[in-house]
Amino acid sequence: MKLKGVVFDFNGTLFWDTHLQNNSWNRFLEKYGFTLSHEEQKKYIHGINAKDTFEYLFKRKLNDAEVYRLTEEKEMIYRSMCLEHGMQLAPGAEQLISFLKESGVALAIATASAKNNVDFFIRHFPLLKYFRPGHIIYNDGTMRGKPHPDLFNKAISAIGTKAEKTLIFEDSHAGVEAAIRSGAGEVIIVNSANAGYNGYRCRQITHFNQVDKTLFV
């Protein structure tokens, strides 16, 4: 069965920014006096939507204004680091995306990033060359975050493919869980941070040129 659609996570998948995410989170956590273990960061920060993360940190329910303020505070640190260190898509990503687009494969992005970050990425990467604006799905606060499959479900619906004929690329544990729960026909783990993924029966890649193109044509 040939796959008809592809959904990419963004942070850590199309844009290998894990070190920048970690550094910006560490600076934010230090300001507020929080100390998290590696396991806590993996479970409550990476790939998780902002509301869930901040409510875990502050141990209380937060209103939308509080979540927005805290998100922007942290993401301003992150965006500044991105500009300082330079920005480029993951190795082989643009070549693969070009191949998929030319082959008629439907494409989407599903990211836990907030809109301000999505707008930032659109300004600094050629995303609109490959992805329709309506196919760049972000968490607008109305969906459950990963590991729930809501973002991926919305992306699959947007491109009009069946889940079982869609491939999802992910890098975070929460994201991989969400991708599996979406019923995607194929999930490929992008091991951009040399992390451990024991227990998942998914292909792993460290470069997008390792993707088997016969999955699509």
**Domain match, 132 and 206 both:** yes
Domain closes at, from 34, 56, 85: 85
Position 141 pLDDT exceeds 90: no
- Cβ-contact 192, 90 below 8 angstroms: yes
Mean pLDDT lowest for which of 110-114, 125-129, 152-156, 176-180? 110-114
β-bridge mates for residue 167, sequence order: 6, 186
- Cβ-contact 190, 173 below 8 angstroms: no
Q: pLDDT band at 114, cuts 50/70/90? A: confident
Mean pLDDT, the chain, as a whole number? Answer: 94
What is the arithmetic mean of pLDDT over 120-125?
Answer: 97
Q: According to the model, what pLDDT value does residue 198 have? A: 79
Q: Cα(217)–Cα(207) distance, rounded to whole angstroms?
A: 20
**Domain match, 67 and 93 both:** no
CA angle 61, 113, 203 (to 5 degrees): 115
Position 41 pLDDT exceeds 90: no
**Domain match, 158 and 208 both:** yes
**Domain match, 51 and 144 both:** no
Position 195 pLDDT exceeds 80: no
DSSP 193: T
**Domain match, 173 and 201 both:** yes
Query: Is the peptide bond between 147 and the residue preceding it cis, with omega within 30 degrees of 0?
Result: yes
- Cβ-contact 139, 47 below 8 angstroms: no
Q: According to the model, what pLDDT value does residue 139 have? A: 86
**Domain match, 58 and 97 both:** no
Domain closes at, from 58, 85, 112: 85
**Domain match, 73 and 120 both:** no
> How far, in Å, are 44, 46, 152, 204 from residue 198 at the CA level?
19, 17, 22, 11
Count the domains in the chain: 2
Q: Cα(103)–Cα(158) distance, rounded to whole angstroms?
A: 19
Mean pLDDT lowest for which of 24-33, 48-57, 80-89? 48-57
Residues near 106 by Cβ (< 8 Å), separated by ≥ 6?
A: 4, 5, 6, 135, 159, 160, 161
The CATH number given to whatever domain includes residue 67 is: 1.10.150.240
Q: pLDDT band at 149, cuts 50/70/90? A: very high
More confident site: 150 or 18: 150
DSSP 142: S
State which residues form the domain around 65.
Answer: 18-85
Domain closes at, from 38, 61, 85: 85
Position 102 pLDDT exceeds 90: yes
More confident site: 150 or 192: 150
**Domain match, 66 and 135 both:** no
More confident site: 169 or 43: 169
**Domain match, 51 and 157 both:** no
More confident site: 158 or 174: 158
Q: pLDDT band at 165, cuts 50/70/90? A: very high
Question: pTM score, two decimals?
Answer: 0.89
**Domain match, 184 and 197 both:** yes
The CATH number given to whatever domain includes residue 128 is: 3.40.50.1000
**Domain match, 150 and 179 both:** yes
Q: pLDDT band at 168, cuts 50/70/90? A: very high
What is the arithmetic mean of pLDDT over 127-156?
Answer: 95
**Domain match, 28 and 116 both:** no
